[in-house]
């Protein structure tokens, strides 16, 4: 391959860029915040997950989101290339403080902030957002537009609906219908204590 061909088709620095978008709106209590943060930290500590992240040359970022003007990048892009980096990231997420409290639920705004982060990792082959939350959109009302825009850019959005005890499947249904992109996956988990 010639130098010109190499420059025209640069090697990918990573296979997957993954944004973990965690709901910290007013409906998320301290238990649900810890459920999200500790769940991610525990997953990163699992040897099989850590191995998959390293084999997949993953870049990972964490966004905490709430109302329309309340999104924070809590962990900027971290490229995972060795076990010590995965372990440090697990500790950082485990000890992460809550960025916002008491706000509304602007799902579309959280998507937009997450999508915008991918401009920082153009060398990654696949872009994925894993969005967790316990409520439907009650501010901003842009989730449909932002989901369509993300899908048009080739971004996969997965959802993790946090259902409260005895609430049925309302949040799961919202995530399935309005958050998860075609090809994405939806999971639900009880927020029972």
Q: Where are the domains of the chain?
A: 13-190
Rounded distance between C-alpha atoms, residue 141 and residue 127, angstroms = 23
**Closest to 117 (Cα-Cα) out of 168, 167, 63:** 63
CA distance 179 to 172: 10
28-59 pLDDT, tens digit per residue, is 999 999 999 999 999 999 999 999 999 989 99
8 A C-beta contact, residue 96 and residue 62: yes
- Give the tens place of pLDDT for each residue, 65-112: 999 999 999 999 999 999 999 999 999 999 999 999 889 999 999 999
Consecutive H or E run containing 24: none
CB 88 within 8 A of CB 34: no
- Work out the widest C-alpha separation in the chain, in whole angstroms: 62
Q: Is the pLDDT of residue 149 over 70?
A: yes
Helix count and strand count (H, E) for the chain: 7, 6
Element (H, E) at 6: helix 3-8
Homologous superfamily in CATH for domain 13-190: von Willebrand factor, type A domain (3.40.50.410)
In percent, the amount of the chain with pLDDT more than 70 equals 87
pTM, 2 dp: 0.88
Task: Specify the pLDDT at position 7.
Answer: 39
The pLDDT-based confidence of 9 (bands split at 50, 70, 90) is very low
Per-residue pLDDT at 190 exceeds 90: no
d(CA 182, CA 43): 25
């Amino acid at each position: 391959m010639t130098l010109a061909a190499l420059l025209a088709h640069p090697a990918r620095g990573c296979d997957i860029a993954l944004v973990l978008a965690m709901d910290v709106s007013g409906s998320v209590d301290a238990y649900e915040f810890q459920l999200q943060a500790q769940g991610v930290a525990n997953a990163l500590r699992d040897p099989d997950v850590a191995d998959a992240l390293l084999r997949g040359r993953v870049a990972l970022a964490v966004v905490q989101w709430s109302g329309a003007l309340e999104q924070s990048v809590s962990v900027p892009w971290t490229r995972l290339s060795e076990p010590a980096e995965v372990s440090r990231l697990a500790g950082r997420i485990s000890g992460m403080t809550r960025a916002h409290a008491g706000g509304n639920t602007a799902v579309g705004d959280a998507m937009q902030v997450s999508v915008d982060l991918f401009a920082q990792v153009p060398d990654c082959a696949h872009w994925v957002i894993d969005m967790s939350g316990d409520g439907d959109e009650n501010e901003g009302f842009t989730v449909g537009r932002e989901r369509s825009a993300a899908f048009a850019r080739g971004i996969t959005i997965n959802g993790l609906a946090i259902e409260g005890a005895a609430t049925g499947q309302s949040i799961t249904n919202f995530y399935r219908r309005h958050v998860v992109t075609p090809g994405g996956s939806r999971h639900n988990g009880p927020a029972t204590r």
